[in-house]
Structure 1
Amino acid sequence: MTITLYSLCGADAARPFSPHCWKVVMALRHKGLSFEERPLAFTVIPTVENGASKTVPVLRDGQELISDSFRIAQYLEEAYPDAPSLFGGRGGVAAARLVEGYSLHVVHSVITRILLIDIHDMLAPADQAYFRKSREERLGKSFEEMAAGRDAAIAALPAALQPLRHTLAFQSYVGGTTPLFGDYILFGALQWLRVTTGSIHLPGDDPVSLWFDRCLGLYDGAARAVA
Structure 2
Amino acid sequence: MSIKLYDLAGIDDRRFSSNCWRTRFALLHKGLPHITVPKLFTSIHKISGDNHRTLPIITDGKTTISDSWAIVNYLEAAYPHKPSLFDKQDSLKSYSEFLQHWSLKAISFPLLQIIIKDIYDRLDPIDKPYFRATREKRFGKTLEDIVKNSEDNVEQFRSGLNPLRVSLKHRNFLSGKKPLYPDYIIAAALMWPRSMSPKQILHEDDTLNTWFKTMLSLYEGIGSKQPKEWVGI
**Same-fold call, TM > 0.5?**
yes
What is the CA–CA distance in structure 2 between the aligned matches of 1:194 and 1:11, rounded to whole Å?
Answer: 14
The one-letter code of the counterpart of 1:95 is Y
What is the CA–CA distance in structure 1 between the aligned matches of 2:199 and 2:149, rounded to whole Å?
Answer: 17
The one-letter code of the counterpart of 2:158 is P
Say whether residues 1:43 and 2:42 are aligned partners: yes
The one-letter code of the counterpart of 1:38 is V
What is the CA–CA distance in structure 1 between the aligned matches of 2:9 and 2:156, rounded to whole Å?
Answer: 27
What is the CA–CA distance in structure 1 between the aligned matches of 2:21 and 2:211, rounded to whole Å?
Answer: 16
What is the CA–CA distance in structure 2 between the aligned matches of 1:174 and 1:199, rounded to whole Å?
Answer: 24
Partner of 2:71, secondary structure, is helix
Partner of 2:223, secondary structure, is coil
Please give the per-residue CA displacement for 1:108-137, whole angstroms capped at 9, x wherever unaligned: 122111211111111233311100111111
TM-score (norm 2): 0.93
The one-letter code of the counterpart of 1:180 is L
Q: Which has the higher helix share?
A: 1
Runs of 4+ in 1 over 3 A off after TM superposition: none
What is the CA–CA distance in structure 1 between the aligned matches of 2:198 and 2:29, rounded to whole Å?
Answer: 25
56-65 vs 119-128, greater mean Cα deviation: 119-128
What is the CA–CA distance in structure 2 between the aligned matches of 1:125 and 1:191, rounded to whole Å?
Answer: 22
Partner of 1:66, secondary structure, is strand
Say whether residues 1:62 and 2:61 are aligned partners: yes
What is the CA–CA distance in structure 2 between the aligned matches of 1:71 and 1:101, rounded to whole Å?
Answer: 14
**Structure 2 counterpart of 1:109:** 109
Partner of 1:216, secondary structure, is helix
The one-letter code of the counterpart of 2:60 is D
Instruction: Give 1:199 shift.
Output: 5.5
Say whether residues 1:20 and 2:14 are aligned partners: no
Please give the per-residue CA displacement for 1:151-177, whole angstroms capped at 9, x wherever unaligned: 112122211111111100121111111
Once superposed, what is the RMSD of the aligned Cα atoms? 1.3
The one-letter code of the counterpart of 2:144 is E
**Structure 2 counterpart of 1:207:** 207
What is the CA–CA distance in structure 1 between the aligned matches of 2:43 and 2:170, rounded to whole Å?
Answer: 43
The one-letter code of the counterpart of 2:39 is L
Partner of 2:35, secondary structure, is strand
The one-letter code of the counterpart of 1:74 is N
What is the CA–CA distance in structure 2 between the aligned matches of 1:176 and 1:187, rounded to whole Å?
Answer: 15
**Structure 2 counterpart of 1:81:** 80
1:1-227 alignment, distance < 5 Å: 1-12=1-12, 14-88=13-87, 89-198=89-198, 200-227=200-227
> Structure 1: any 5+ residue segments left out of the alignment?
none
Partner of 1:47, secondary structure, is helix
Please give the per-residue CA displacement for 1:43-89, whole angstroms capped at 9, x wherever unaligned: 00111134431110001011111100011111111111111110122
Partner of 1:126, secondary structure, is coil
Question: How many positions carry a matched residue from both structures?
Answer: 226
The one-letter code of the counterpart of 2:25 is M
What is the CA–CA distance in structure 2 between the aligned matches of 1:50 and 1:63, rounded to whole Å?
Answer: 16
Please give the per-residue CA displacement for 1:3-30, whole angstroms capped at 9, x wherever unaligned: 0000101233x21100000001111100
Give yes or no for contact 1:110–1:160 (8 Å, CA) kept in 2: no
> Structure 2: any 5+ residue segments left out of the alignment?
228-233
What is the CA–CA distance in structure 2 between the aligned matches of 1:85 and 1:154, rounded to whole Å?
Answer: 35
117-126 vs 182-191, greater mean Cα deviation: 117-126
What is the CA–CA distance in structure 2 between the aligned matches of 1:201 and 1:35, rounded to whole Å?
Answer: 31
148-157 vs 181-190, greater mean Cα deviation: 148-157
Give yes or no for contact 1:203–1:209 (8 Å, CA) kept in 2: yes
Give yes or no for contact 1:8–1:21 (8 Å, CA) kept in 2: yes
150-159 vs 56-65, greater mean Cα deviation: 150-159
Instruction: Give 1:34 shift.
Output: 1.2
